[in-house]
Amino acid sequence: MKIGILSSGGDCPGINATIRGVGKTALMQYGMEVIGIHSGFTGLITKDTVTFSERTLSGILNLGGTILGTSREKGIRKRLRSNENGLADVILKNCNEMGLDAVVCIGGNGTQKTANLLSKLGLNIIGVPKTIDNDVWGTDISFGFDTAVNIATEAIDRLHSTASSHKRVMVVEVMGHHAGWIALYAGMAGGADVILLPELGYEIDKVNEAILNRAQKGKPYSIVVVAEGVKTPAHRPADYFTPTIEQGTGIEARETVLGYTQRGGNPSPFDRNLATRLGGHATELLVNRRFGRMVCINGDKVDSVPLEEVAGKLKVVTPQHDLVIQGKRMGIMFGR
C-alpha cells in the first residue's frame, strides 16, 4: 500500500509523534510506502509531498508543531461542498496520480468534517483526533490536551504566590473556544477559586460575591480561570473580567492571557504515548481497509468510530462532569 499523512487545522503538541507512529508502523511492520503531504488538505491540491523513510521519521517524537505544516480547512471544505472549480475531482485525480491508496488526516473537528466529506467522495480516509481543546467528539481524550493543561497549570501555580503577596485577584485566560476543558482541568489542578467555562455561563454579581466571601474569610486574593470562549461584552474575557471584578469587589485585579504558549513546544510524555498509540492504530485500520473511521480512545483502549458519526459534533463539558461536581463540593465557584 502507499499511504499519505497530512496534518490540518491549528497545530498542537503530539502531531509529529502521530506522524512517526503511523509512518514507522506502516514502513517497518507492513512494508508500505509512506509520503507526507504538506500544508494540510492544500497539499492534496498542490501535490506538495515528501517521501518518508525510517530515517526521516526519526528524532521527531518530542518535537512540537508539525513537520508537515498545516492550514485551516474551512475554505477548502466550502469549495469541496460546492465542487468549486471541480475541486473534488482535482483532489481525487491528484490522489490517483500520486498512487495513494489511503490518506491519514490528523486534525480537530474541522479536519474530521473535511475528512468525512472526502471519504464520501470516494477517498480512503482515516482520521486521527488532535486538539489542545479536547473537544473532538467520539474520543475520550485527544493529544495536545495534556500538554496544554500542564502549561496552564504551571502558570496558575506561579500566579498564586504573586496573587497572595499583593492581595490581588488574578484573572487567567486559557484557550478553549467552544469547550472549557482546559479551564476545568487546569483550574482544578491549579487550585483556582473561580472557574468560568463557555458551557456553564456566569453571573458577574455572583462571581464578585464569591471573591468577596473569600476575602471576608481571610483570603484576600483569588485566582479566576476563564476559558477564551466565555461570552462577555469585551473581545477577550480577561479584558472584561479584570476591570469588572476590580470595580465590583474593590480588590485590585490583574490579568494573564496564556494564548499560544499552550499550543507550542514539546508534547508531554502522556501526549507522546497517546499520539503513538493512535498513530499505530490508524495504520492497523489502513491494513484492514477499515476506511472512513477516526481512531479514538475509549476508556483505556484504542478504538475507532465512523467519521460520519464524528462530523459536525462537539464534545463539551457538562454540569454533571465529576470534576465540576467535586469542585463545587469544595467551594469552587463555576460562574453561578
Binding-site member from 3, 8, 10, 295 for ligand F6P (CB under 6 A): 10
Q: Which of 17, 175, 200, 310 binds ligand F6P (CB under 6 A)?
A: 175
176 lines the binding site for ligand F6P (CB under 6 A): yes
Using CB under 6 A, which of 133, 199, 255, 271 touches ligand F6P?
A: 133
When asked if residue 184 is in the footprint of ligand F6P (CB under 6 A), the reply is: no
| Segment (H or E) for 306 | strand 301-306
Question: Interacting stretch for ligand F6P, rule CB under 6 A, among 13-21, 81-89, 129-137, 307-315?
Answer: 129-137
Q: Where are the alpha helices (DSSP H) in the chain?
A: 15-24, 42-46, 74-82, 87-97, 109-120, 145-166, 181-189, 204-216, 237-249, 269-287, 307-310, 322-329
Q: Least distance to ligand F6P from the beta carbon of 38, Å? A: 17
Q: Which of 93, 166, 167, 177 binds ligand F6P (CB under 6 A)?
A: 177
Residue 328 makes contact with ligand F6P by CB under 6 A: no
Pairing of strands 301-306, 253-257: unpaired
**Residue 236 CB partners (closer than 8 Å, separation 6+):** 173, 228, 257
Based on CB atoms, which residue is closest to ligand F6P, 32 or 275? 275
> What sign for the dihedral angle of Cα 267, 269, 271, 275?
positive
From 44, 88, 126, 132, residue interacting with ligand F6P (rule: CB under 6 A): 132
Considering the complex, what minimum distance in angstroms separates the CB of residue 174 from ligand F6P? 9
Bin 9: left if φ > 0, else alpha if -120 < ψ < 50, else beta. left
Q: Which amino acid appears at position 173 of this protein?
A: E
User: Beta strand pairing status for 169-174 and 49-51?
Assistant: unpaired
Which of 18, 49, 111, 131 lies at the binding interface for ligand F6P (CB under 6 A)?
131
Whether the CB-CB separation of 243 and 205 falls below 8 Å is answered with no
Q: Is residue 263 part of the contact set for ligand F6P (CB under 6 A)?
A: yes
**Catalytic center residues:** 133
Q: Is residue 34 involved in binding ligand F6P (CB under 6 A)?
A: no
- Please give the residues from 215 up to 254 whose contact with ligand F6P meets the rule CB under 6 A: 228
Single out the segment in contact with ligand F6P by CB under 6 A; choices: 28-36, 127-135, 188-196, 205-213: 127-135
Nearer CB in complex with ligand F6P: 12/88: 12
Residue 11 vs 255, nearer CB to ligand F6P: 11
311 binds ligand F6P (CB under 6 A): no
Is there binding between residue 186 and ligand F6P (CB under 6 A)?
no
Kindly write down the DSSP assignment for every residue of 138-153, as one continuous string. Answer: T-S--BTHHHHHHHHH
Q: How far is CA 85 from the centre of its chain?
A: 32
Nearer residue to ligand F6P within complex by CB, 109 or 222 = 109
Residues with Cβ < 8 Å from 189, sequence gap 6 or more? Answer: 149, 153, 156
Strand order in the sheet with 33-37: 49-51, 33-37, 2-7, 102-107, 125-129, 293-298, 301-306
111 near ligand F6P, rule: CB under 6 A: no
Q: Quick count: other Cβ atoms within 10 Å of Cβ 184?
A: 27
Which range of residues in 30-38, 82-90, 117-125, 170-178 is near ligand F6P by CB under 6 A?
Answer: 170-178
CA distance 40 to 111: 9
Q: What residues make contact with ligand F6P under the rule CB under 6 A?
A: 10, 12, 131-133, 175-177, 228, 263
